[in-house]
C-alpha cells in the first residue's frame, strides 16, 4: 500500500510533473500548514477559523510570505520557485495582482516539490521561520 503522507519521489521523476501540477499539490500542503498553525495558536473558533485560513492562503498573503522565504532558499529550491513563478496561469483572481499570484504559485510549486520528494522537515522549517516572524502575516 502506498503511503500518501510520506511520498519519496525521485527528483528526476519530479521533473515530469508540470509546475502547475506541483503548485496544485503545494496548495494543499500550504493550506494544511496554515490550518495546523491556526489551531495550535488557539485560533480555532468556528467562523473565524475559516476566514483566517482564507486570509493566509490568499495569493497576496502567500506572496508576502514568499518574499520573507526567498533569502532562506537553496539554489535548487530557488530554481523550483522560479519554475512555479514563471508558469503560465490562465487567470488571476480579482483580489491579487499578477505579480502576487506569480509569487504565490511559486511558493505552492516549491512546497509541492518538497512534499513529493519527502522533504517535510524542510517545508516545516521554511513555513515556521516565515510565519513565526513578528512581522509575518
Please give the positions annotated as active site: 27
Cα separation, 65 vs 95, whole angstroms: 16
Location of C-alpha cell 502567500: 62
Give the count of alpha carbons within 13 A of 47, CB side only.
Answer: 0
Cα separation, 36 vs 59, whole angstroms: 19
Angle of helix 59-69 relative to helix 98-116, nearest 10 degrees, comes to: 70
The C-alpha cell of 128 is what?
A: 515556521
Amino acid at each position: 500500500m502506498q503511503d500518501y503522507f510520506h511520498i519519496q519521489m525521485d527528483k528526476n521523476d519530479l521533473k515530469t510533473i508540470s509546475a502547475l501540477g506541483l503548485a496544485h499539490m503545494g496548495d494543499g500542503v500550504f493550506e494544511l500548514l496554515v490550518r495546523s498553525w491556526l489551531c495550535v495558536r488557539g485560533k480555532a473558533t468556528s467562523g473565524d477559523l475559516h476566514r483566517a485560513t482564507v486570509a493566509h492562503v490568499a495569493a497576496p498573503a502567500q506572496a508576502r510570505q514568499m518574499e520573507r522565504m526567498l533569502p532562506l532558499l537553496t539554489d535548487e529550491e530557488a530554481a523550483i520557485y522560479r519554475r512555479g513563478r514563471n508558469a503560465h496561469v490562465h487567470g488571476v483572481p480579482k483580489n491579487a495582482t499578477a505579480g502576487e499570484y506569480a509569487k504565490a504559485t511559486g511558493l505552492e510549486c516549491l512546497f509541492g516539490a518538497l512534499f513529493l520528494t519527502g522533504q517535510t522537515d524542510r517545508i516545516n522549517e521554511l513555513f515556521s521561520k516565515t510565519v513565526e516572524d513578528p512581522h509575518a502575516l
